[in-house]
Structures are given as structure tokens and as C-alpha cells.
Amino acid sequence: MAIRDRLSGNEAVAHALKQIGPDVMAAFPITPSTEIPQYFSAYASNGEVDTEFVAVESEHSALSACVGVAASGGRAVTATSSCGLALMWEMLYVASSMRLPIVLAVVNRALTGPININNDHSDSMGARDSGWIQLYAENNQEVYDNTIMAYRIGEHPDVKLPVMACQDGFITSHGIENIELLESDKVTSFIGTFNPDVRLLNPKHPVSMGPYSNASYYMEWKCQQAYAMKQAKQVILDISKEYANISGREYGLFEEYKMEDAERAIVIIGSSAGTAKATVDSLREKGEKVGLIKIRVFRPFPMDELAKALGHVKAVAVMDKAESFSACGGPLFAETRSACYGIPNAPKMINYVYGLGGRDVHVGCIAHVYSDLEKIIKTGDIGETYRHLSVRE
């Protein structure tokens, strides 16, 4: 029987980690950190988990410590947000290239400046090319579920990559919602033990990890990383199916909401997908054929699957909660439009950058986007493809 509870997103992740019991959590303990290390350090000092909690002096050190733990064959976790993730940057690439299945709980928040502490996806979207798997959550339930699945995905022999389990800062991280928790013994048996085939602390098989690699090997190494990311897609689906067996909640690479006969669709990530679902429901009551796709897995990007899901739609708005300053749209737009390139009768597609720095996104904002798509279908004119939502003129 699932345990009915109400938790904030931060509490949900801390609870999942308590049930997982990693060997080490290394985290910077103050701003811009989150409540996740705070809650978890209480579990550690109360003896509720065997995990060693290491309060390090910076996020760079937090991830460095996790690299050391994972290279030694331990399960490592850290948590951060915003500029804390930015300070980890160098080590993000070290972790992924060393093929270490570290889990990083990301609470998505804007990057300064102007100085801002609120939600958007600038932090993790900036890290999208660092070789980490990225899972995004709509609500507290999903971030709990993703955190539990993250270790299994990252540690899979076909993958061996670090995983970011992301949620929206404040909106879910500090919001209390209903949640269904699994019994701890179910989590324990789902998670299993971590038995990497190569680790530093194994005197019978001494190895060197993270060495210098010059031009004669660097590219082969990178190709192996890229191959692992390709493999990850199927592994994520398999693990998600296995998780459905113990939880009753099944997740794909993305969720299709009322897409069967949809003529207009939006593609969106994170908590605003919930608001968009409420918008879809109210427009559907008026007979409008609208739907949405919520991306759960951004890395690896579900390119072929997304093209298939959008193939029958007339017009699509891709929603980016991060500005990439490409002068032609955000990262999700670039990937989604690329996915649909070359498919017959590809939908007309626009991009909306929205919700930056905590700009609130309500049902009216999303309804505005669907109404723009209606205009595009009626007139056949896409107009400006790269737009910003709810901005003062």
C-alpha cells in the first residue's frame, strides 16, 4: 500500500534519499543550496541513515567529493541550485567523462543577473551539454519518483552516466502537495546494490581513473560517452516500466496529454505543464482540439519519439523556461524543431521563452499561446517564430 502524505518538493527528495541511503552526500550547506541537504543532514545526524554527510566549502568541492566517492565504488549524491550548479561546471564534465553515476538533485532557479532567486531553467539548461542525463518533474510526486529511478538509470552497465533530477525552484521545491510514498523496503529492493566493474579502491585490479588523454584517444572516449547517452533512452524506459510495477506510476520519455486528435499542441517542461494541463482541460470543454507534450527526459533527447508524437499536429508552440541568447530561440525549441525537420507535413512551429526569474505562468498565459496557434492555423502565417510570453511592452 502506498503511503499517502503531503510534502514539499525538497522534503520529497530528502525522503527519497533517506530511503535510498547513498554512501555519501557532499553538499555546500548554505545559500544557494536548498533545503534538501538541510533535511538530509538531520537524517544523517539522527542516525536515520548510514550516509556520511560532508559539508564542503563550495559546490565545486561538493561535486569533486562525489567524484571521489563514485570512483571508489560508492553511491554519491549532491544537491544544488542556480549559481551553485554554475560553480560545479568544471566538475560536471569530469563526472560524466569518468562515467560516474552520481545523482544531483537540482532545484531549478534563475542565474544572476539581475540578482534573482526564483524559478526558471537557466541553470540546468546551461548544463545540457555536460554529458549528464537530465530528468525533469512536473510536481513533487514526479521528483520523488525520478530521484529513486535516477540511481538505477545512471548505474546501468549500458549507461554509467551521472543523472540530474530536476524540479522547479519554489513552485514545487517549497510548495506542499499530496504525494504517495513507497514503503522503504520496496525502495531498497528496487535500488539494489551498486557494484561497478571498475573502481579505485580495489587492490586486486588497480586502475587509473580520469587520466590525461591526448588527441589519440580523446575522441574515442567522447564517442563512448555519446554512445552511452544513446543507450540511456531504452534503459530509462525499462527502468520506468520496472518502477511502474512497484508504484503504479508509469513514465515515458515524455507525457502526451490529450494529444490523440490535437491540432494545436505545446511542448513544455516542468511545473508549468500542470498549469498547461488545466488550460487544455478548459479549452477542451469548449470543443477546442488542443493537447500538450511534457518533456520528462531532456538528455538524452527523445528526438524520433517526439517527431512521431507531433507528426499529426498542425501548429506547435515550444515553451522554453530559459533564454539561450541564440537570437533565434531557446534550447527546447532548437531540439524540437530539429526533431520535426524533414517529417512530411511538419507542424508549423513557434517558440515562447517564458517564466524567467519566477515570472508567474497562469492559465491565461497558456491560453494566449493556444490562441496564437489558432491564428497561425487560420492565416497560414507563422509570423515571428521567436517570442517572449507575458512581457511588458
Q: Which residues bind another protein (CB under 8 A)?
A: 6, 117-118, 138-139, 168, 170-172, 174-178, 271-275, 277-278, 358, 360-363
Contacts of 161 (CB under 8 A, 6+ apart): 96, 99, 101, 131, 132, 133, 154, 225, 228, 229, 232
- Torsion angle, alpha carbons of 368, 373, 378, 382, to 10: 120
Residue type, 49: V
Instruction: Choose between 316 and 366: whose C-beta lies nearer to another protein.
Output: 366
Alpha carbons 27 and 62: distance in angstroms, whole number: 5
Give me the least distance between CB of 171 and another protein, in Å please.
Answer: 5
| Contact (CB, 8 A) for 283 and 320 | no
Residue type, 198: V
Instruction: Choose between 32 and 131: whose C-beta lies nearer to another protein.
Output: 32
Instruction: Choose between 96 and 172: whose C-beta lies nearer to another protein.
Output: 172
Q: How many helices (H) and strands (E) does the chain have?
A: 13, 15
Which one, of 136, 119, 185, lies nearest residue 355 by Cα? Answer: 119
Give me the least distance between CB of 235 and another protein, in Å please.
Answer: 28
Residue type, 245: N
Instruction: Choose between 7 and 106: whose C-beta lies nearer to another protein.
Output: 7
Give me the least distance between CB of 341 and another protein, in Å please.
Answer: 31
Instruction: Choose between 9 and 347: whose C-beta lies nearer to another protein.
Output: 9
Which one, of 343, 354, 378, lies nearest residue 121 by Cα? Answer: 354
Give me the least distance between CB of 226 and another protein, in Å please.
Answer: 34
Give me the least distance between CB of 116 and another protein, in Å please.
Answer: 10
Residue 393, H or E segment: none
Instruction: Choose between 168 and 323: whose C-beta lies nearer to another protein.
Output: 168
| Contact (CB, 8 A) for 163 and 171 | no
